[in-house]
């Protein structure tokens, strides 16, 4: 058993762990990185990257079938599902070198391809190594949550960790779970020629603004996705190619394949946290605002910290703890400016408070302004006019933004900047976007906020009349 000492030990080579390891090592820290599975973690291998690649294949197929509106004859797409999965694999392999062991060793990081577990408050065992570090960062991410539905353990099913290895196109894909993962995969597969049924125990896209979610759900239903809401799965039965899901209210859904997409669970089982004096919560590891655990030498970041489960949050967490762990400076994680996006077509994005949340917190002081994509010339030119932006404003400052429509995931970036820096609507209104772009939606939303203050306003009219009459 070899013994290693270092400044910083990072457990997990997903997005957050890699960011910490690279940053700390390049700033002069002695860093050890543990990874018992694949470099790049869930995002590269099973999550963000492959799902968006498969959505791109679906988009290409859909474009062929919906081109007549642009003066190009519709064509029935000839989908090769296995080739679409080859595209997914190629994208992963193209990105993989950025997350590779060799690259991080080039930064000076010592990479050990083993899982780690605590054997004391300051020591972690990984294979034949015992590592003692001044600081430890747990960045082990999350895994698909498999619910205890009777019969599920008796039938074949997919999760996001297995779906992208499937080479044969499903005739009829049943999806348990109507959240972002379920709805993205529903649209990708219906566009690739599958019949798709989504079975959701509550409301589909229930975390999002209901008005915005309805735009997405109506569009998906229009493409042929069957979405069953308030349909809590009570039993699964059957065999490969002939599966059934029965819901608590007696509805029965039949299909050939099953995808379980009901959420995520933090990867903590291997860690032996009690030996390090680290407390857990129902959703992950207990951390304070600085992302420290109950062991002051140990931090937890990303999905395993039990909060927002997004790759960009893990990257943000990495920056927070580098400031405190390397430089000893106070640094706290905030969530108000963290955006999220669902990459369906149309896309759905949110940052800060939703309208319901903002009204509950701020009551009559809140103003809500909106602008519809149907008034954006570029959206009209590309026939992407479904959707809207809604901005929740308190005393001239945005506190939340909801966008549903073409490129909503891109448009939300500006509002994350605005919320992060507590900017005012007047500062958004001052920007000049090029014409014609989808980005004008953001400018026009700010304009909609000021319009009632400037037009049909008696005070403004009196000032204008005075200036025109008396000032040469």
Domain termination site, one of 262, 295, 312: 262
Domain membership of residue 84 (yes or no) is: no
Tell me the C-alpha to C-alpha distance, in Å, between residue 235 and each of 153, 238, 255, 456.
Answer: 11, 10, 14, 60
pLDDT tens column, 58-108: 999 999 999 999 999 999 999 999 999 999 999 999 999 999 999 999 999
Shared domain for 273 and 255, answered yes or no, is no
Structural domains of the chain, count:
3
Domain termination site, one of 213, 236, 262: 262
Task: Look at residue 339 and give its three-state secondary structure.
Answer: strand
Domain membership of residue 194 (yes or no) is: yes
Q: How many alpha carbons fall within 13 Å on the CB side of residue 435?
A: 5
List the CATH number of the domain containing 431: 3.30.390.30
pLDDT band at 281 (very low <50, low <70, confident <90, very high): very high
How far apart (Å, rounded) are the C-alpha atoms in residues 55 and 58? 5
Peptide bond into 19 cis (omega under 30): no
How far apart (Å, rounded) are the C-alpha atoms in residues 291 and 331? 9
Shared domain for 169 and 186, answered yes or no, is yes
Shared domain for 136 and 281, answered yes or no, is yes
The CA-CA-CA angle for residues 89, 166, 60, to 5°, reads 60
Domain membership of residue 424 (yes or no) is: yes
pLDDT tens column, 10-57: 999 999 999 999 999 999 999 999 999 999 999 999 999 999 999 999
In the block, residue with structure tokens 């070899």: 2
Task: Give the domain range for residue 173.
Answer: 152-262
Shared domain for 258 and 206, answered yes or no, is yes
How far apart (Å, rounded) are the C-alpha atoms in residues 60 and 345? 12
Task: Look at residue 432 and give its three-state secondary structure.
Answer: coil
Shared domain for 131 and 278, answered yes or no, is yes
Q: Where are the beta strands (DSSP E) in 91-229?
A: 110-112, 117-120, 123-126, 129-138, 142-144, 172-176, 195-199, 226-228
Shared domain for 319 and 285, answered yes or no, is yes
Shared domain for 421 and 273, answered yes or no, is no
Domain membership of residue 213 (yes or no) is: yes
Q: What average pLDDT does this structure show over 281-287?
A: 96
Query: Residue 460's pLDDT is what?
Result: 66
pLDDT band at 453 (very low <50, low <70, confident <90, very high): confident
List the CATH number of the domain containing 158: 3.50.50.60
Domain membership of residue 471 (yes or no) is: no
DSSP state letters, 223-256: HT-EEE-S--EEEEEEETTEEEEEETTS-EEEES
Beta bridge pairs of residue 174: 197, 258
Domain membership of residue 287 (yes or no) is: yes
How far apart (Å, rounded) are the C-alpha atoms in residues 31 and 8? 5
Task: Look at residue 12 and give its three-state secondary structure.
Answer: coil
Task: Look at residue 41 and give its three-state secondary structure.
Answer: helix
Q: What average pLDDT does this structure show over 298-307?
A: 95
Shared domain for 11 and 138, answered yes or no, is yes
Domain termination site, one of 231, 247, 262: 262
Shared domain for 179 and 250, answered yes or no, is yes
Q: What average pLDDT does this structure show over 375-403?
A: 98
Shared domain for 356 and 422, answered yes or no, is yes
Shared domain for 166 and 306, answered yes or no, is no
Query: Residue 455's pLDDT is what?
Result: 67
Query: Residue 328's pLDDT is what?
Result: 81
Residue 205 pLDDT > 80 = yes
What pTM was computed for the model?
Answer: 0.94
Domain membership of residue 204 (yes or no) is: yes
Shared domain for 354 and 220, answered yes or no, is no
Phi, psi angle pair for 130, to nearest 5°: -120, 120
Beta bridge pairs of residue 398: 393
pLDDT tens column, 333-372: 999 999 999 999 999 999 999 999 999 999 999 999 999 9
Query: Residue 268's pLDDT is what?
Result: 97
Residue 329 pLDDT > 90 = no
Query: Residue 1's pLDDT is what?
Result: 81
How far apart (Å, rounded) are the C-alpha atoms in residues 407 and 349? 9
Among 307, 302, 333, which Cα is nearest to 14's? 302
Q: Do 365 and 392 meet the contact criterion of CB atoms below 8 Å apart?
A: no
Domain membership of residue 51 (yes or no) is: no
Beta bridge pairs of residue 4: 131
Among 238, 107, 122, 75, which Cα is nearest to 172's? 238
Tell me the C-alpha to C-alpha distance, in Å, between residue 166 and each of 88, 241, 325, 389, 392.
Answer: 11, 13, 42, 37, 43
Query: Residue 255's pLDDT is what?
Result: 98
Task: Look at residue 34 and give its three-state secondary structure.
Answer: strand
How far apart (Å, rounded) are the C-alpha atoms in residues 178 and 173? 13
């Amino acid at each position: 058993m070899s013994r290693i000492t270092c400044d910083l030990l990072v457990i997990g080579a997903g997005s957050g762990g890699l960011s910490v390891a690279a940053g700390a090592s390049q700033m002069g820290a002695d860093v050890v990185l543990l990874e018992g599975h694949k470099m790049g973690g869930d995002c590269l291998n099973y999550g963000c990257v492959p799902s968006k690649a498969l959505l791109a294949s679906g988009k290409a197929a859909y474009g062929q079938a919906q081109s007549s509106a642009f003066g190009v004859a519709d064509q029935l797409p000839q989908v090769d599902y296995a080739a679409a999965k080859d595209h997914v694999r190629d994208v992963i392999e193209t990105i993989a070198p950025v997350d590779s062991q060799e690259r991080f060793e080039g930064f000076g990081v010592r990479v050990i391809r083993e899982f780690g577990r605590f054997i004391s408050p300051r020591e972690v065992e990984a294979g034949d190594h015992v590592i003692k570090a001044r600081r430890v960062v747990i960045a082990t991410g999350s895994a698909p949550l498999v619910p205890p539905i009777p019969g599920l353990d008796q039938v074949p099913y997919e999760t996001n960790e297995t779906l992208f290895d499937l080479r044969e196109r499903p005739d009829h894909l049943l999806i348990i779970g109507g959240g972002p993962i379920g709805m993205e995969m529903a649209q990708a597969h219906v566009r690739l020629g599958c019949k798709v049924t989504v079975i959701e125990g509550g409301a589909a896209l229930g975390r999002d603004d209901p008005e915005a979610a309805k735009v997405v759900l109506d569009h998906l239903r229009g493409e042929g996705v069957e979405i069953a809401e308030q349909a809590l799965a009570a039993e699964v039965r059957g065999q490969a190619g002939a599966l059934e899901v029965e819901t608590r209210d007696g509805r029965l859904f039949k299909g050939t394949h099953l995808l379980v997409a009901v959420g995520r669970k933090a990867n903590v089982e291997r860690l032996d946290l009690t030996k390090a004096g680290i407390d857990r919560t129902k959703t992950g590891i207990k951390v304070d605002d600085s992302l420290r655990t109950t062991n002051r030498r140990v931090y937890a970041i990303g999905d395993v910290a039990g909060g927002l489960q997004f790759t960009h949050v893990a990257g943000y967490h990495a920056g927070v703890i580098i400031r405190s762990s390397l430089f000893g400076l106070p640094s706290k994680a905030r969530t108000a400016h963290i955006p999220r996006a669902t990459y369906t077509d149309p896309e759905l994005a949110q940052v800060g408070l939703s309208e319901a949340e903002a009204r509950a917190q701020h009551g009559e002081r809140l103003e809500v302004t909106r602008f519809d994509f149907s008034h954006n010339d570029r959206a009209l030119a590309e026939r992407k006019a479904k959707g809207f932006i809604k901005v929740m404003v308190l005393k001239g400052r945005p506190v939340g933004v909801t966008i549903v429509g073409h490129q909503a995931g891109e448009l939300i970036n500006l509002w994350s900047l605005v919320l992060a820096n507590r900017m005012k609507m007047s500062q958004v209104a001052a920007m000049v976007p090029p014409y014609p772009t989808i980005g004008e939606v953001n400018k026009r939303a700010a304009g909609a906020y000021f319009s009632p203050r400037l037009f049909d306003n008696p005070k403004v009219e009196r000032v204008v009349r005075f200036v025109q009459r008396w000032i040469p």
